[in-house]
Amino acid sequence: MEFGALFYQVLTLFLLILVGWGVRRLGLFTDEVTTGVSRFLVNVALPALVIDSMQLPFDPALAREGGMLALAAGAFYAGAILFALVFPRLIRARPEERPVFAFLVVFANTGFMGYPVVRAIWGEKAVFLAAIYNLLFSLLIFTVGVLLLTGAKAGWKEVSPRVLLSPGIVSVAVGLSLFFLSVQLPEVIGGPIAMLGALTTPLSMIVIGALLARLDPRTIFGNPRVYIYAGVRLLLLPLAALVLLRPFVTDPLVLGVCVVLAAMPGATNAALFAEEYGVNPELASQAVFITTLFCIATIPWIAGLVT
């Protein structure tokens, strides 16, 4: 896919973000509405999209691609976690900033933004693979993510086995079971699931915009370390994934999905996690805003390298 077409796909999504920003600034969305829609996405629409994307007849080749994707994503996350342990000190982050920068190096917006982007570039098959990638994301964010924000000793107390019952993980388990058993849901069930999944792209972009609209524009652009982080998040990490995974991942779709998901902006729930654990939510919000703003240019370029 040419850069122009990729740019158009991402620009379309970014315009929906602007819609979300506008409706929040105009008061059409309140904080309560934004939170409610966000919960609906996480607990209903995104899981429905995952299940719908896996409504495919069992295909050994696709199963192998899913396994290859899991291995590649695991390798990427392992490297990102190791890098996150040293990155805050490399940029001379203040002590109160280090947990947030470490968290944001590892965790990107591979759900709300990742699914729509890979779907726009490669179609439903890419959503299937993205669901495998996000299974690892869900497992890690509630374990490693908590540890990065709170410190290893205190963090273990916050890790709950209930994470295994989160809608994101359950939907992948259900979708994979249906895929491996070649079970097609009846239209009376599959139809509504497909319709709910179709809400994910527009609603997720609108929610991102509404969340970003909470920030005071005067305070967003003043931290130079955020720009260094943006370069790492949007360029260094995906390019490193491309260089390091290409010799081992022979399937171009698997490699492409991994690299493009690695190029997503900072995770939108970083601010929510930071606020919950009392670790500089303002910095998390700044980093998410800056990377989301810049990704309109970087994602098409990164995607152009693997398509």
Q: Within a domain: residue 169?
A: no
Residue 184 φ/ψ, nearest 5 degrees: -100, 125
In a domain, 16, yes or no: yes
**Cα(234)–Cα(228) distance, integer angstroms:** 10
- 3-state secondary structure at position 1: coil
The token pair at 27 is 């008061």
Q: For residue 231, give both structure tokens.
A: 């370069």
Per-residue model confidence as pLDDT tens digits over 211-246: 778 777 777 777 899 999 999 999 999 999 999 999
Query: What digits encode the pLDDT tens for the residues 239-281?
Result: 999 999 999 999 999 999 999 999 999 987 787 778 777 788 8
- Residue 272 domain-assigned (yes or no): yes
The per-residue pLDDT for range 32-85, each reduced to its tens digit, is: 888 888 888 888 988 898 899 888 888 898 899 999 999 999 999 999 999 999
Q: Is residue 112 part of a domain?
A: yes
Domain-embedded: residue 280: yes
Residue 163: predicted pLDDT: 60
Tally of structural domains, the chain: 1
Higher-confidence residue: 272 or 17?
17
Helix (H) or strand (E) holding 96: none
Q: What is the per-residue pLDDT for 258?
A: 97
Residue-range definition of the domain harbouring residue 253: 3-25+61-161+217-306
CA–CA separation, 46 and 164 (whole Å): 16
Which of 132, 156, 134, 162 lies closest to 143, judged by CA?
156
Amino acid at 198: A
Instruction: Identify the H or E element spanning 229.
Output: helix 224-231
Q: pTM here?
A: 0.86
Residue at 38 is within a domain: no
Burial 243-255 (b: 16+ CB within 10 A, else e): eebeeebeeebbb
Helix or strand or coil: residue 108? strand
What is the average pLDDT score of the chain?
Answer: 87
- With respect to residue 135, please indicate whether it lies within any of the assigned structural domains: yes
User: pLDDT band for position 160 (50/70/90)?
Assistant: low
Within a domain: 99: yes
